[in-house]
A and B are shown apart, each in its own frame.
Chain A
């Protein structure tokens, strides 16, 4: 019985991986497609630049925005694909949609997760700009390694938290039900 459950779990895990990879490729083609990039991704990245500039101005950095570029007298940064949180959103969205769960739960997870990823990404953009102004020697490593890894790990963690959400109660209920039957 236990072996059967394990086999089923393994099959579900492999199915999840196959669906995840297929969705990732589909979503990649969607966001990389010229018209979608121009009509959705670039304006979205511009909005990220404006919100980040607003936060930086509140922090006293005196920034302004030109397209997807945040500028001040001392530093400028251009937000490109890979820095707009879209890559983490692709991973998270593919994982949530590939995971076996009711649609209502998937949609709730997508909405909350994508907002959370953008909040984390906002912290990344603001802190990278701040590092660029005050600790420029650390900018490259912070940008390439530290923050990219942190944002992606946050995306994976959000997915795992979403996937686990409610599972404990469900397993406890299954165990209680099983124990009741055994009596």
Chain B
């Protein structure tokens, strides 16, 4: 199994995977799960604040407010009637893929080496950007499709399909692909530069 990471002698893609790598993957998964469980609540507050800021930047007037509470992101708008219910979006669906990222980066032979550790946190930061983008898509998807006559009045058919389709893509494929792409891009390709 001794071969250059990322490319073998003939320039082909090669992937070091053995029993030890599988063991590290399981440990990485469990470690990631613990981190995720401990930091989920504060993390949700951070991504809610970031998504709110981004949404308000492009709103006129800026009316959206997002609050993380009890595993949900509560969506509110200053122009909603006070008596109408506020949609609550399940937050775990957005960001549990952090656990996958931990497991994949842990597979590396020296997971705690400064290089791998740095690349892992760079990937985690990019994943956080993905989470904020996904939350924006989810809020816009709710605005565009789930608020009855209000949605019809404010979003045309193209916009409705675009927002709903983009968030559906994240739910079905994007959230699982993101950790894999970040691991492959930052972890494996960057590793092969050394």
Which residues on A are within 8 Å of B, measured CB to CB? 2, 4-6, 8-10, 12-14, 16-17, 20-21, 24-25, 27-28, 31-32, 81-82, 86-88, 90-91, 95, 99-100, 144-146, 148-149, 152-153, 155-157, 160-161, 163-164, 167-168, 170-171, 174-175, 178
With A28-B169, A88-B176: A174-B7 Cβ-Cβ less than 8 Å: no
Secondary structure of the A contact surface, majority rule: helix
- A-B pairs, top 4 by smallest CB distance, nearest first, are A9-B7, A8-B11, A5-B11, A145-B96
For this complex, 28 residue pairs linking A to B, each with C-beta atoms less than 8 Å apart, are A8-B11, A9-B4, A9-B14, A12-B7, A12-B13, A13-B188, A16-B13, A17-B189, A20-B181, A21-B177, A24-B173, A28-B169, A32-B165, A32-B169, A82-B172, A86-B172, A91-B180, A146-B33, A148-B96, A152-B176, A157-B17, A157-B25, A161-B17, A163-B13, A167-B14, A170-B8, A171-B3, A171-B14
Pairwise interchain contact B99-A149, C-beta atoms closer than 8 A? yes
CB-CB under 8 A from B188, the residues of chain A are: 13
B6 touches A13 (CB 8 A): yes
Is the contact region of chain B dominated by helix, strand, or loop, or is it mixed?
Answer: helix
* Residues of chain A lying within 8 A (CB to CB) of residue B7: 5-6, 8-10, 12-13
- Inter-chain contact total with CB atoms closer than 8 Å: 138
Interchain nearest-CB distance for A91 vs B (Å): 6
Establish whether residues B14 and A10, one from each chain, have CB atoms under 8 Å apart when the complex forms.
Answer: no
A2 to B10, CA, bound (A): 9
Q: Are B172 and A87 in contact (CB under 8 A)?
A: yes
Is B9 among interface residues, defined by CB-CB distance under 8 A? Answer: yes
Interfacial chain B residues near A8, Cβ < 8 Å: 7, 11
Question: Are the C-beta atoms of A21 and B96 separated by less than 8 Å?
Answer: no
